[in-house]
């Protein structure tokens, strides 16, 4: 049996309803203690009102080698951005 406490990734949602954001990691024997530890470690300065924890071992990351294939194709799709379109001022805010 491995003795070292597993590592957890901590995600916190701030006061203003934004998405949970990754803030860091910590060690804990299980999920409940990871939540408590996250409260004590990562919300000492009123950083949040909701905590998620995920075992670090459960994170699947995108392949760094495939970065170009994954993310380059979105570069030229500029028509997805509102600033691509010229709307006359007379029309009003849109």
Contact positions vs another protein (CB under 8 A): 1, 3-5, 7, 23-30, 32-33, 36-37, 39-41, 44-45, 61, 63-64
Residue 13 or 55 having the CB closest to another protein: 55
Q: How far is the CB of 56 from another protein (least distance, A)?
A: 8
Q: Which residues, 6+ apart, have CB-to-CB distance to 9 below 8 Å?
A: 22, 24, 25, 53, 54, 55, 56, 59
Instruction: Give residue 57's Cα distance to chain centre.
Output: 16
Q: How far is the CB of 80 from another protein (least distance, A)?
A: 24
């Amino acid at each position: 049996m491995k003795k070292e406490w597993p590592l957890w990734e901590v995600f916190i949602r701030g006061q203003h309803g934004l998405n949970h954001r990754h803030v860091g990691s910590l060690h804990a024997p299980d999920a409940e203690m990871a939540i408590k530890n996250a409260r004590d470690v990562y919300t000492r300065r009123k950083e949040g009102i909701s905590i998620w924890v995920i075992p670090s071992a459960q994170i699947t990351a995108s392949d760094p080698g495939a970065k170009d294939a994954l993310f380059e194709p979105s570069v030229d799709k500029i028509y997805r951005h509102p600033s691509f379109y010229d709307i006359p001022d007379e029309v009003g805010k849109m």
